[in-house]
């Protein structure tokens, strides 16, 4: 089938086919946009899963055609469909990412406590910061919401229930609007709940919710608090984030901790717990070399067994400052034989000042190799680590030598872990074997030359005869 329409250069359209998803038609639509000469301008197959959808930017004034066909070139009266051509307009939709796979996210906040969720936004045909609001929360519940920056599509939201809030539930309208009032668009929640999953967990039948299910629940016997870090987390660094639990008397169960989310370039352990009967634990947090610099709002959630089930609460919002490194380290290379000593030079390029001394140490030395911790200041440009090796030190090229440097800021360590260098450990050469000189053979005595017989004394006659013979020979 073909449908003709007129369009002007620069106009933008959404072209969408409705067949299998809405009408349960057997049509597996292939969508093509052609110009008046029959040229292919845009096309799509199955972007609408399995219906087709494409965005069409008009290249020139003129007439255009929408072509619809079945992928297997089938057809018939039952191959019903609808195709829509609409100008592209700004649109915004909000969603709550799954916390447990295939289970839609809902909100439960114990009275006198907190809980937190992540909120996602999907912008189309516009950009900029967003304001988020929650309309119709249960009585006694409040939401702490941050503006969503233009370069982010998710934001944490912290909910608090008053201590005197009675258990209740509401369907809450989640709204999003651009900070720029000139952009006229509003977004609401679009939450899909799969009620029936088919083979390979395909969505066979489900429900699309336009409200968030939220409830105030009975109080639980613990609360969480992040101890606000005073020092920054630096790129290529790490931090021990301290979390403290306040327990009701008699409640001793372990509390599993995890970060609600990690800012860009930040990693955190998801297997930390406050031990049974204890009140605090630390979560190792690391930053890679491209971690996003700035101050981020972070939240820690904790879950524990209670009343035959499992309950979960959240900490307050705390600030995590992510900063650039205080210095760059260039670790050299060195080689040594087993049982010997060597030195490894580390060059230091200062990026930021720091007060006092910082401890610096080598990490990753092989078994049988040791060194000592050193001290540096903001003016240090080079350190030399003495390395000792045992006679059985591990032989080979060890290329994962790291350097950990830890200045103190506001009384807290700022850990840098930078590498890498190389230490090569060789086996000693075997000792030289003295060559035993073989005795020279005794000279054999040379045989005596036979003595010439004494010359015969010639007579006068023999002398004349010899002279004559020699004269004839000369002629």
Structure confidence by residue, pLDDT tens digits, 186-211 = 999 999 999 999 988 888 899 999 99
Structure-block tokens of residue 84: 């829509």
Q: Is the dihedral of CA 41, 44, 47, 48 positive or negative?
A: positive
Q: Render the burial of 329-350: b for 16+ CB within 10 Å, e for the rest.
A: bebbebebbbeeebebebebeb
Secondary structure (3-state) at 78 = coil
Other beta carbons less than 10 A from residue 29's beta carbon: 25
Average pLDDT over residues 113-122: 97
Structure confidence by residue, pLDDT tens digits, 458-470 = 655 666 677 777 7
Structure confidence by residue, pLDDT tens digits, 262-313 = 999 999 999 999 999 999 999 999 999 999 999 999 999 999 999 999 999 9
For residue 131, what are the CA distances in angstroms to 18, 56, 145, 297?
Answer: 33, 30, 8, 16
Q: What pLDDT was estimated at residue 429? A: 82
| From 363-367, 380-384, 452-456, the region with the lowest mean pLDDT | 452-456
Q: What pLDDT was estimated at residue 166? A: 96
Q: For strand 382-389 and strand 408-409, is the pairing parallel, antiparallel, or unpaired?
A: unpaired
What global pTM score does this model have?
A: 0.78
């Amino acid at each position: 089938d073909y449908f003709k329409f007129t369009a002007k250069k620069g106009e933008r359209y959404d072209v969408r086919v409705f067949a299998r998803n809405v009408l349960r038609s057997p049509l597996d639509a292939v969508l093509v946009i052609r110009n008046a000469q029959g040229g292919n301008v845009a096309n799509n197959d199955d972007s609408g899963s399995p219906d087709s959808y494409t965005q069409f930017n008009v290249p020139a004034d003129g007439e255009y055609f929408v072509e619809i066909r079945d992928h297997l070139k089938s057809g018939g009266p039952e191959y019903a469909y609808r195709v829509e051509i609409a100008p592209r307009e700004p649109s915004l939709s909000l969603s709550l990412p799954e916390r447990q796979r295939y289970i839609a996210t809902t909100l439960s906040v114990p009275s006198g406590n907190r809980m937190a969720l992540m909120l996602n936004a999907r912008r189309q045909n516009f950009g900029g910061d967003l304001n988020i609001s929650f309309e119709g929360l249960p009585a006694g519940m409040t939401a702490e919401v941050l503006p969503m920056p233009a370069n982010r599509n998710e934001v944490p939201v912290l909910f608090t229930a008053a201590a005197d809030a009675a258990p209740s539930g509401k369907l809450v309208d989640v709204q999003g609007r651009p900070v720029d009032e000139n952009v006229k668009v509003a977004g609401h929640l679009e939450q899909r709940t799969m009620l029936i999953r088919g083979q390979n967990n395909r969505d066979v039948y489900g429900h699309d919710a336009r409200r968030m299910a939220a409830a105030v629940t009975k109080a639980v016997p613990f609360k969480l608090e992040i101890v606000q870090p005073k020092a920054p987390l630096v790129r290529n660094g790490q931090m021990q984030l301290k979390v403290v639990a306040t327990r009701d008397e008699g409640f001793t169960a372990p509390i599993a901790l995890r970060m609600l989310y990690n800012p860009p370039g930040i990693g955190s352990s998801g297997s930390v717990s406050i031990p049974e009967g204890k009140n605090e634990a630390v979560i190792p947090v690391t930053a890679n070399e491209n971690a996003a610099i700035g101050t981020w709002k972070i939240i820690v959630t904790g879950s524990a067994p209670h009343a035959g089930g499992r309950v979960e609460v959240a900490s307050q919002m705390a600030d995590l400052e992510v900063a650039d490194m205080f210095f760059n380290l260039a670790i050299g290379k060195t080689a040594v034989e087993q049982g010997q000593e060597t030195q490894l030079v580390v060059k230091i390029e200062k990026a930021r000042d720091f007060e006092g001394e910082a401890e610096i140490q080598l990490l990753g030395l092989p078994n049988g190799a040791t060194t000592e911790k050193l001290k540096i200041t903001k003016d240090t440009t080079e350190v030399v680590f003495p390395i000792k090796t045992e006679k059985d030190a591990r032989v080979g090229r060890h290329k994962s030598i790291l350097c950990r440097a830890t200045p103190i800021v506001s009384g807290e360590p700022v850990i840098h872990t930078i590498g890498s260098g190389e230490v090569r450990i060789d086996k000693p050469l075997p000792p030289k074997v003295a060559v035993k000189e073989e005795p020279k053979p005794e000279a054999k005595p040379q045989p005596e030359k036979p003595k010439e017989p004494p010359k015969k004394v010639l007579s006068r006659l023999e002398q004349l005869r010899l002279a004559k013979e020699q004269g004839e020979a000369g002629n």
